[in-house]
Structure 1
């Protein structure tokens, strides 16, 4: 499935890839020009034939109770940032709050803290 044009290279398209990490299936949103290799199924390194390193893991915001959907990724590719609802579980109490997230070349996505 193609979600849109890659923001980091000229001819790449963002596609959905199924990966298994620590025994759990998770989606990886990656550029069609990005290719990784792994020995242990957890650490992924770019191969020599990769010309782009765009990647965003579906569960990159899981610690905040947010899994990135196809729609979230499409919106991120079209806009600079999007607003999402996150959860904080401080002191055993759930608190819901909205924050903007944006694409980040090093981490995939970043929460914009005011």
Structure 2
């Protein structure tokens, strides 16, 4: 399934890939031109034939109580910015708040803290 055009290469599309990391199944939203190899299933290295390395892990914001879904990735790819609801567990209480996230070449997405 393709979700949109890759923002960092001319002909790539962002597609959904199923991965298993530390025994948990997660989605990887990666450019069709990005190919990785792994010997142990944990550490992934970019292959020599890859022309792009852009990817967003579904659980990139999990420390803030947010997992990114297909709809959010599509909107992020088209608008370059998206408002999301995050959760903080500060002082033993859950606090909900909104922040904007943007595409980031190195990390997939970044939070704008202002």
Smaller-chain TM-score bracket: over 0.9
Match of 2:23 in 1: 23
Query: How large is the RMSD of aligned CA atoms in angstroms?
Result: 0.7
Match of 1:82 in 2: 82
Per-residue Cα deviation, 1:67-109 (whole angstroms, up to 9, x for no partner): 0000110011001210000000011100000000001011111
Identify unmatched segments of 5+ residues in structure 1.
Answer: none
Tell me how far apart the structure 1 counterparts of residues 42 and 57 of structure 2 sit (CA, whole Å): 12
TM-score with structure 1 setting the length: 0.98
Shift of 1:38: 1.4
Q: Provide the secondary structure at the position in 2 that maps to 1:28.
A: strand
Q: 1:3-82 maps to which residues of 2 (within 5 A)?
A: 3-82=3-82
Tell me how far apart the structure 1 counterparts of residues 7 and 18 of structure 2 sit (CA, whole Å): 21
Tell me how far apart the structure 2 counterparts of residues 90 and 11 of structure 1 sit (CA, whole Å): 43
Structure 1 runs of 4+ aligned residues shifted over 6 Å read none
Tell me how far apart the structure 2 counterparts of residues 96 and 106 of structure 1 sit (CA, whole Å): 27
